[in-house]
């Protein structure tokens, strides 16, 4: 059963739609976005297409005394679920980041409609943060797929040059924290763009075991954060 569904960070309250849900996960059906064919409810634009996606199917039952009202509620609910995040009761540690692939409406009885939504989904685990205590340090990345890393470097002294995880930071003042966010593809200090502060070839990502290498850890506090990907 569904624990919760979020759309744009706001919970979609299924009881508002009289949606008694039967929901099931089809985790064996890995899709390939590279062979994706249109014809569904919408044509999603993928921002990360190298890894497989999962197919997630959810049945939602809409019941009202009025036939037309049931259909209207079903279509409103479908619209709310074009892009959403789904959490299941039996696995609350994982979050399904979903884009609607297709949907069907089935009239069961007068005033009762079954809305089936099929999503392309990426499955994320909870955020994990590791503060480096040594270098090199091995970090076990949960989940079988490659995931992006966020690397945070807090300067404990003025850093003219500091190497960490394949990149070099230049002129980071004491007390300032530089954040390299692989998922958002940003480099920031105090929420401001700081690309000119770092020499970087590619944004950090890892799969399986990741070996973090940093300069003298007495000069900076280095934190590696990530969300496991299934």
Per-residue confidence (pLDDT) for residue 50, from 0 to 100: 42
User: Poorest-confidence range of 36-50, 180-194, 202-216?
Assistant: 36-50
pTM of the full structure: 0.73
**What pLDDT was estimated at residue 23?**
58
| Pair of tokens at residue 76 | 């409103």
Q: What digits encode the pLDDT tens for the residues 114-146?
A: 888 888 888 899 999 999 999 999 999 988 888
DSSP calls for 162-206: EEETTEEEEEE-TT-EEEEETTTTEEEETTEE-GGGEE-SS--EE
Tokens 């409609």 belong to residue: 113
Residue labelled with tokens 């960070």: 9
Q: Is the pLDDT of residue 12 over 90?
A: no
3-state DSSP call for residue 207?
Answer: coil
Q: Hey, how many other C-beta atoms are within 10 angstroms of the C-beta on 16?
A: 11
Q: What pLDDT is recorded for position 203?
A: 92
> For residue 211, what are the contacts with CB-CB under 8 A and spacing of at least 6?
136, 137, 138, 139
71-80, 188-197, 216-225: the lowest-pLDDT one: 71-80
The per-residue pLDDT for 120 is 85
The DSSP secondary-structure symbol of 50 reads S
For 46-72, b/e burial (b = at least 16 CB within 10 A) is: eeeeeeebbbbbbbbbbebeeeeebbe
**For 68-102, how does the pLDDT look when each residue is reduced to its tens digit (9 = 90+)?**
888 888 899 899 999 999 888 777 888 888 999 88
pLDDT band at residue 224 using 50, 70 and 90 as cut-offs: very high
Least confident of 51-55, 64-68, 198-202: 51-55
Over residues 103-123, mean pLDDT: 87
Pair type for strands 53-63 and 159-164? unpaired
Distances (CA, A) of 154 to 45, 55, 210, 218: 36, 40, 21, 11
Structure tokens at 165: 């995880």
């Amino acid at each position: 059963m569904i624990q919760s569904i979020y759309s744009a960070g706001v919970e979609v309250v299924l009881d508002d739609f009289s949606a008694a849900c039967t929901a099931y996960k089809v985790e064996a059906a890995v899709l390939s976005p590279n062979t994706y064919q249109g014809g569904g409810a919408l044509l999603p634009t993928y921002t990360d297409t190298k890894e497989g996606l999962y197919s997630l199917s959810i049945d939602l039952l809409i019941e009202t005394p009025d036939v037309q009202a049931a259909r209207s509620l079903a279509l409103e609910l479908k619209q709310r679920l074009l892009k959403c995040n789904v959490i299941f009761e039996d696995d609350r540690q994982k979050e399904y980041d979903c884009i609607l692939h297709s949907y069907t409406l089935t009239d069961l009885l007068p005033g009762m409609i079954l809305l089936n939504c099929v999503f392309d989904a990426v499955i994320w685990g909870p955020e994990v943060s590791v503060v480096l205590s040594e270098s090199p340090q091995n970090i076990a990345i949960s989940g079988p797929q490659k995931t992006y890393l966020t690397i945070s470097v807090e300067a404990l002294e003025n850093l003219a040059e500091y190497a960490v995880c394949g990149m070099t930071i230049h002129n980071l003042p004491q007390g300032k924290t530089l954040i390299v966010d692989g998922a958002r593809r940003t480099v920031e200090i105090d929420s401001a763009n700081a690309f000119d502060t770092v020499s970087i070839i590619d944004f950090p990502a890892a799969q399986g075991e990741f070996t973090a290498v940093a300069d003298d850890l007495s000069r900076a506090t280095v934190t590696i954060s990530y969300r496991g990907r299934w």
